[in-house]
Structure 1
Amino acid sequence: MRGTIAVVDSFTRDGLRFDVTDHDPGPIDGGPPVLLLHGFPQTAISWEPVARRLAGAGHRVLAPDQRGYSPGARPAARRDYRIEELVADVAALIDAAGGEPVHVVGHDWGAIVAWALAALDPARVRTVTGVSVPHPAAFFRAMRSSRQALLSWYTYVFQVPGLADRYLSRPGALAAALRRTGQTPQRARRDEAALAARGGLRPALSGGMGWYRAVPHWEHRGLPVPVEVPALMVGSDGDSAVSLEAVHGNGAWMRGPYRLEVLPGVSHWIPDEVPDRLADLVLEHVVG
């Protein structure tokens, strides 16, 4: 048993301030914290159903609004959104939460950050779970050898500053785009509203697209660094953005215990669509 720990509702790094949702189970000792990293174009609110399940099982759960999404963490330069910076942000959150190694779970771009943290700073990671998106090296390899390049057409559009930001910031445009990828109308409106509430829809979209625009500036091009900590990959066969070839290629970059789960009939939005199933998989992984 332990006493109630201090809530982390924000942390700072290099003059940037990040907002955090801290689900503290109180006096229950559930072991190391679980970090939940959202993707594009979502915020920590997308993890709410999963976070409640994990906290209910006794785990402290931390869900940050990441760089570009937190209003106080929106630098202007493309290089400021490199994967190395995103990983350092999460490391700063781990320090703010006490510094012990964590279980890290990421969806979409959050999965890329989770894989990168596990590869580049493994001492901070107990286990890693990637949801929907595999290790960057597996993803980039699939871009060259499968239909992944076609599925990723929108990433090329995002490279033009102001183009997609301006279009998707029109009322209802982002929600409509999310619905076309399998998100429900209610959750699509939720995600659009959540971004708009964080300093305006267009600034939040531009911040999120900064992650795509910074890829050519990564210091670790393609992140050809394997993961040695225990790893879980959760994909789905109804994903309109990520090919199964990319998902199945993930194992080539795993050096420790590894499990792959492909959920049938599920879209890209796994944490929203099947939160209980995902929470069960994460709980099995972090306990095992």
Structure 2
Amino acid sequence: MIEHLGIPTEAGTFDAIAAGPVDGRPVLLLHGFPQAAVAWEHTVATLGAHGFRAVAPDQRGYSPGVRPERAAEYGIDSLVGDVLAMADAQGWARFDLVGHDWGGAVAWWAAAEHPARLRTLGVVSTPHPGALGEALHDDEDQQLRSAYMTEWRSTGTEKRMLENDSAALRRMYEWKVPPSKVEEYVRRLTEPGALTAALNWYRAGRPGGKIGTVEVPTMYVWSSEDVAFGSTAALATENWVTGPYRFHLIEDVTHWVPEEVPEVLTAMVLEHLRAH
């Protein structure tokens, strides 16, 4: 059974979905762009059925109660702070963290900077930011894959994505995300200010400091047909993890792993959690 709850923090109240006993082993799952917590619906329900306390929030900008206007308020320090604040609000001294896309980037930073708070880390699609940074510097393929970020930071992006019944936004899902979820994502992102808030994750600028290695047990999942992240950064990610590390390659699957193959991904998450 999926629950809907609010998680109060100093920044505001985050909307979330959850499942499992309140005293179960806590797992926080972070979505990416342009998604919402329901991307993790299958995983949350399954983890809950196995006795974990699984919680997936609508992140900063996606939750109406935490939607600051300035792009500067979407920097990585604020996003990682949200993760810790949500854990604190639920009384979690330590927890397992899983993230996809932008949620994966936040998860990498949280693990690198606050290893004592995490039991394990699971990241889907997004390479370690250090590996991605190297690829952006040296690998022409990754440079081409990431060129969209510059466009999305420009003014007028919201208009281009939402015109003609959000045609450009809908095309991003590559016909791989179930129609019901596409409609849910589009409905949320067409709320006043919602798409601007989501794009502010890109407009906030790069983190000022250099990210370090990750020491907690880590699982990284990458799919061969991911348009945003190429093999160079994906394969180099292991160089940025000093703790136990497991790499999963999913063939013939696009960037939308949580929605396209939820059963496969959830089985990997369960295996990872049980191994540590």
Normalised TM-score (structure 1): 0.88
Matched-pair contact (CA < 8 Å) for 1:20–1:65: yes
Q: Which residue in 1 is equivalent to 2:189?
A: 195
Is the CA contact 2:27–2:95 (under 8 Å) kept in the aligned structure 1?
yes
Asked if 1:22 corresponds to 2:15, the answer is: no
Contact 1:175–1:185 at 8 Å: present in 2 too? Answer: no
Instruction: Note if contact 1:236-1:262 (Cα within 8 Å) is conserved in structure 2.
Output: yes
Give how far 1:160 is off: 1.3
What letter is aligned with 1:274? Answer: V
Counterparts in 2 of 1:174 and 1:23: CA distance versus 1, 3 Å:
farther
Q: May I ask how many residue pairs the two structures share in their alignment?
A: 271
Unaligned runs of 5+ residues in structure 2 are none
The one of 197, 209, 224 aligned to 1:237:
224
Could you tell me which of 266, 269, 273 is aligned with 1:282?
269
Q: Is the 8 A contact 1:240 1:268 kept in 2?
A: yes
Query: For residue 205 of structure 1, what is the aligned residue in structure 2?
Result: 195
Q: Which residue of 2 aligns with 1:39?
A: 32
Residue in structure 2 matching 1:124, options 117, 126, 146: 117
**Where does 1:1-288 land on structure 2 (aligned, <5 Å)?**
9-25=5-21, 30=24, 32-146=25-139, 147-161=141-155, 163-170=156-163, 171-180=165-174, 182-196=176-190, 200=191, 203-216=193-206, 218-220=207-209, 223-288=210-275
Partners of 2:205 and 2:182 lie apart in 1 by: 26
The alignment partner of 1:215 has SS state of: coil
CA deviation string 1:33-56 (max 9, x = no partner):
111100001100111011111111
Q: Which runs of 4+ in 1 moved over 4 A?
A: none
Contact conserved, 1:119 with 1:227, CA < 8 A, in 2? Answer: yes
Kindly state the Cα deviation for residue 184 of structure 1 after the two structures are TM-superposed. Answer: 4.8
Residues 182, 151 of structure 1: alpha-carbon distance in 2 compared, 3 angstrom cutoff = farther
Aligned-pair identity (%):
39
Shift of residue 185, structure 1, vs aligned partner:
4.5
Instruction: List alignment gaps of at least 5 residues for structure 1.
Output: 1-6
Q: Would you say the 8 A contact 2:18–2:44 is kept in 1?
A: no
Aligned-pair CA distance for 1:189: 2.8
Partner SS for 2:59 = coil
CA deviations 1:140-165 (Å, max 9, x no partner) are 1111122111011210011113x211
The AA in structure 2 aligned to 1:37 is L
TM-score by length of 2: 0.92
Distance 1:157 1:91, change over 3 A: same
Which digits, 9 at most, give the CA deviation of each residue in 1:162-218, with x for residues without a partner? Answer: x2112112323244322437445454333212433xxx0x521111111111133x2
Summarize deviations over 1:247-284 as a string: whole Å, max 9, x none: 11111110100000010011100000111111111111
Q: Deviations over 1:52-81 (max 9, x none)?
A: 111111111111111111111111222211
